[in-house]
Chains A and B, each alone.
Chain A
Amino acid sequence: MSQQSERVDELHAEVARMRLRDPATSRDRALLILGAVLLVGGVIIAVYGYALSHATSDQRQQLDALIVAVIGLTVSVTGAALFLRYSIAQFLRFWLARLTYEQHAQTDRVVEAIKKQE
């Protein structure tokens, strides 16, 4: 029992050391949404820059418009990276759970078939 008391003391120490986030801030979800917004916003900026460059014959304005388009693409790539980072973890967790479940079901079917053969 004293060994278990030590374990409870360890639990207290482990929990005290634990780094906790405030669940209300939900940082992951905010970054996922930010990623999606940047992805779409970047594409809109790039298309706008492209259209702007065609709306003028002034080379300096065309250059500015191209720079805007490149910035848009950069924003879009950054957004895509953020979106992938924070969506793929959720997806993989789901996929892993599904694989485990399917393996479980498959083994049950095999066992059932063996029992029927016997």
Chain B
Amino acid sequence: MAGEAVLELRDVCAAYERIEVVHGVSLKVLEGSVVALLGPNGAGKSTTLKVAAGLVRATSGDVILAGRRVNGAHADDLARAGLCLVPEGRGVFPNLTVHENLRVATHTGRSISDIEQAAFGRFPRLADRRNQVAGTLSGGEQQMLALARGLATNPAVLLLDELSMGLAPLVVEDLYEKVAAIAREGVSILVVEQFARVVLGVADHAAIMVHGKVSAFGRPDELAGELQTAYLGS
């Protein structure tokens, strides 16, 4: 499936003001693969994702997208190029309807009917909620809407931050089935998760982060021991 790395972080450090929270993280997302970034709360996973998306600047190291070092690139330029972040907390516009939230993605030049057809095909429940205000959707539906809006931009690389946050296990499983389907279409995905079980079912590779460092990287079946150590201590 996978060839060259579409997104790569090399020895990346990142800080909020003077407090460094990511200490030399390196990982690769190969074309069409799913990479899970796992670890306990406060490990620096979301910050790493924000560095990849251009929302937080790396204080050192290299962020490489499609073979080019893109440190210092604006987040909107990266998004326009095809790097899409679905943020933690879903990031839907709560006072806009599902239709209006999807309309936001028409800036890419795609028509709203085209976007809705794709979104409702993938997430039929959103079609029933088309005129409902996004803030009144269930958590799972909001996450579907956030994913649908992200996919409407036709991304080459999708960054997902804590898809499962606040959702029931069945909803999470359903969402990760969709994520697997998106990956099969060839979109490269880097997903940050605190709860490892479901995401490891769809990931090609996983990295475990503890205290701002990647402590292990490999295929999901190779990481069971490291996961236990990361979450429960040795």
Contact = CB atoms under 8 A, between A and B. Distances in A.
Nearest to B80: A14
Contacts of A1: 32, 185-186
A6 B154 CA distance: 11
A13 to B, nearest CB: 9
Interface string A1-23: 10111011011101110111111
Would you call the interface of chain B mostly helix, strand, loop, or mixed? loop
A107 interface: yes
**Interface range for A:** 20 to 34
Nearest to A109: B135
Given A4-B32, A111-B135, A11 B156 contact: yes
B94 interface: yes
A23 B82 contact: no
Would you call the interface of chain A mostly helix, strand, loop, or mixed? helix
**Interface range for B:** 20 to 34
Interface string B98-141: 00000000000000000000000000000000000101100000
Contacts of B135: 104, 107-108, 110-111
Give 4 closest A-B pairs by Cβ, nearest first: A4-B186, A107-B135, A23-B72, A14-B81
A5 B67 CA distance: 15
A61 interface: no
B70 A18 contact: yes
